Amino acid sequence: MKFDKYIDERKGIFVTKPSLPPLDEYVEYLKKVWDTNILTNFGPLHEEFRERLTKFLDVPLCLPSCNGHMALELTIQAFGLKGEVITTPYTFASTTHAIVRNGCTPVFCDVNENDCTIDANKIEALITDKTVAILPVHVYGIPCNVEEIERIAKKHGLVVIYDAAHAFGVSVGGKSIAKFGDASMFSFHATKAFNTIEGGCVALKDMNLALKLFQLANFGIMGEEVVTGIGANAKMNEFQAAMGLCNLDHFAENVEMRKKVYELYEKMLTSINGVRMLKPYRDDVVMNYAYCPVFFDEKILGKTRDVVYDYLTSKNIYPRKYFFPLTSEFECYRNGNYKGNTEVAKKISRQVLTLPIYPELDLKDVKTICGLIKEFLV
């Protein structure tokens, strides 16, 4: 069997570029791996990283993982959820797959047009006697209405697991985003604002749940001769942890650079009638500028998002249509008769382009991209 070659050989500006620390800083950590010969299985770098993450996210417990998806899938499993899970289809494949791969049924709730997160006013109408959890997404790192979700979950006795894949370092009213809900999964994939090459973590509050998750992430092994559960393997290795330790030192400066890029796009593009960007539901949200979603309204512009995309790619600028199609429109889900009317999500998924954003992106390039968009649209 041969996999299709999957290397992007195009030259140009891509939607993102992974943040790599200075090589010598990474090498310093690698020397420790060479000294100890411990490559994985909760080694010293894993433990150092776990401790720093727990502090950074300001949560009682935090478990690193080999990637965000496994972290999410195993978290749902650790809660023992079986039934309907209210979520949104305006997300990456992982969110819906994690629910379905646990034998649960996704119930799709619509999103807010202003921030693309779950429309909390529409959640209660979707709750049935089969509902077991709400799994909202802090999409693009923009927080969901966490207070309202908490109120609904308490009232109906539901578990809340946040897909916080994009939201590392985000806060609401001075409070770390990781503190909301019963658990939050963060992705540390190469394309994220903070990366460990591949990787992720789960932030939690409950020790029993953390133990269950730990078990599930390590084959159920609890001692050399003790296997207590049917686990998988979702461990983060020492090379990933080393990258995390290095990148954590540079995270704040990277976010500052991302912010400059984001604000320049905002300044240059939102003056065009028919082009808009998002607004968090509260003024005191601290963002990480993980993505730069821009929405093109065909009715006003007379041009579709797709022609803007085609135009930019013809100029070697490679934005992405995150998140189109909706997960509910995927071949594997569209005939599943999943419940939920998601008209807003459908509309905005046909308007969105996530433009290139990463710390090293030159502001001159941002001006060029905006210039091209303006020239094409106006």
* Residues at the site binding ligand T4K, with contacts judged by CB under 6 A: 8, 14-18, 67-69, 91-92, 94-95, 137, 163, 165-166, 187, 189-191, 200, 318, 322
Rank residues 1 and 7 by Cβ distance to ligand T4K and give the closer one: 7
Rank residues 301 and 308 by Cβ distance to ligand T4K and give the closer one: 308
CB of 9 to ligand T4K, least distance (A): 11
Evaluate whether 165 touches 202 at the Cβ level (below 8 Å).
no
CB of 192 to ligand T4K, least distance (A): 7
The dihedrals phi and psi of 70, each to the nearest 5 degrees, come to -60, -35
Rank residues 54 and 96 by Cβ distance to ligand T4K and give the closer one: 96
Closest CB to ligand T4K belongs to which residue?
Answer: 68
CB of 216 to ligand T4K, least distance (A): 16
Q: Tell me if residue 49 falls in helix, strand or coil.
A: helix
284, 290, 294, 295 alpha-carbon torsion, rounded to 10°: -80
Q: Which of 189, 141, 180 is nearest to 162 (CA)?
A: 180
CB of 129 to ligand T4K, least distance (A): 28
**Bridge partners (DSSP) listed for residue 171:** 176, 286
CB of 191 to ligand T4K, least distance (A): 5
Rank residues 9 and 129 by Cβ distance to ligand T4K and give the closer one: 9
Rank residues 91 and 117 by Cβ distance to ligand T4K and give the closer one: 91
Distance (Å, rounded) from C-alpha 352 to C-alpha 277? 9
Evaluate whether 160 touches 150 at the Cβ level (below 8 Å).
yes
Tokens representing 135? 């799994």
CB of 38 to ligand T4K, least distance (A): 23
CB of 370 to ligand T4K, least distance (A): 20
Rank residues 200 and 231 by Cβ distance to ligand T4K and give the closer one: 200
Rank residues 42 and 140 by Cβ distance to ligand T4K and give the closer one: 140
Largest Cα–Cα distance in the chain?
69
Pure H helices in the chain? 23-36, 44-57, 68-78, 93-100, 146-156, 207-216, 238-269, 298-301, 305-314, 343-349, 363-377
Distance (Å, rounded) from C-alpha 52 to C-alpha 245? 8
